[in-house]
Structure 1
Amino acid sequence: MDEVVTAVRVLLALVFVASAAGKLRGRGAYARFTAATARLVPHPVAATATRWIAAAVVGAEAAVVVLLVLPVTAAAGFALAAVLLAAFTAAIVRALARGDRAPCACFGDADTPLGPRQVVRNLSLATAALAGLGATLSGGSHLPGATGALFAVAAGCFAALLVVAADDIIELFRP
């Protein structure tokens, strides 16, 4: 169980690192994310509030990473990740219900329109976060042995790479 918790910690930490870093890559990336935030938050929200919400999202994503890296705060990291992913999912579902399929800038620059795959991605990650939280709270937060840790970190890295690159991978195989 310790290996699974470690793999999920690595997976979520890397996904949130990629998400925050993609948004902070430059002025243009952050401006696109702020514009996406303005579209995804409930209307009417003032432009100033949208900028604060965008900054809070990036700050919360960074906090998830820090919390998940430290074993003593992993439960808080899992909980914050689950809350953020639930909020992101709700925002995407609302946008899709309105017919808004503009890219979300989830990982910075993105050309892929919003769709069910982002909902599935976020729900899958939220499920992983809740599973990690449950395992951590039930005492499964010990560090695995060296071999188990190596396997867990590799599995978490591979899964994170698949999540972050999923839109690009899917586009490779579309007719």
Structure 2
Amino acid sequence: MQYVEVASRLLLLTMFALALVSKISSRRAWAEFVESTRAMAVVGDAQVAAVAVATAAAEGAVIVLAAVPLRWAGSVAFVIAAGLLGSLTVAVALVVRRGKSVTCRCFGASQTPLGVSHVVRNALLVVIALLGLAGSLVTGPFDLFLTVIVGVFGAVLGLLVARWDDLVSLLVAP
């Protein structure tokens, strides 16, 4: 189970790092993220900026805590990630249910509108965060070689999650 924690930790660290960088890399990127948050109309206009900042802060917290090689830090990272991803899953599901066309700014400039595939992605990430949390509560010996392999596997999966829209477009017939 410890290997599940390692893979989950690296997946979430990689994915949230790419997501955060895409949001704060420039003023324009940040403005586009804030505008997509506003367009979702899940919170009132007065709360949009605070929600955007809270989202970025939670992503940053997950990145920092997931990078700290202490069991408690990983556990806290998984709890924050599950909470953030759960909230995002609900928000995206509401947008999809309303039939609104809101561009996904999860990982930077994308023209893909939020859809069911984004709800599925976020729900899978919640499950991964919860599995990582469960893994962080188990103790036992680690094999260094196997730990490195599952860590790389997790990081690669994190990169693939960041390209979710591209993967979905490859797998879904036009």
TM-score normalized by the length of structure 2: 0.91
Q: Paired residue for 1:169? A: 167
> Per-residue displacement from partner, 1:54-104 (whole Å, max 9, x unpaired)?
111101101011111122311010000000000001110111122112212
Deviations 1:104-135 (A, max 9, x none): 20112111111111000000010010111122
**Would the aligned equivalents of 1:78 and 1:129 in 2 still touch at CA under 8 Å?**
yes
Instruction: Quote the residue 1:99 is aligned against.
Output: 99
Partner of 1:45: 45
Structure 2 residue runs of 5 or longer lacking an equivalent are: none
* Aligned ranges 1:87-126 → 2 under 5 Å: 87-126=87-126
Which residues in structure 2 correspond to 1:1-175 (within 5 Å)? 1-46=1-46, 49-70=47-68, 71=70, 72-137=72-137, 139-140=138-139, 144-172=142-170, 174-175=173-174
Looking at structure 1, the residues matched to 84 and 141 of structure 2 have their Cα atoms a distance apart, in angstroms, of 25
Contact kept, 8 Å, 2:117 with 2:168, in 1: the verdict is: no
Does the CA contact (< 8 Å) of 2:5 and 2:134 recur in 1? no
The alignment partner of 1:147 has SS state of helix
Q: CA RMSD in A?
A: 1.7
Q: Which runs of 4+ in 1 moved over 6 A?
A: none
| Structure 2 CA distance for aligned equivalents of residues 169 and 108 of structure 1 | 16
Q: How many angstroms apart in 2 are the aligned matches of 1:168 and 1:34?
A: 23
Distance 1:105 1:143 in 2: 40
State the TM-score, normalizing by the size of structure 1.
Answer: 0.90
- Quick one: distance in 2 between partners of 1:68 and 1:90? 24
For structure 1, which runs of at least 5 residues remain unmatched after alignment? none
Output the CA distance in 2 between the equivalents of 1:146 and 1:134.
20
Assess if the C-alpha contact under 8 Å between 1:103 and 1:113 holds in 2: yes
State the identity as a percent: 33
SS of the residue 2:45 aligns to: coil
Task: Measure the CA separation in 2 of the matches of 1:11 and 1:54.
Answer: 22
Query: How many residue pairs align between the two structures?
Result: 171
CA separation in 1, counterparts of 2:122 and 2:84? 9
Cα shift at 1:4 = 1.7
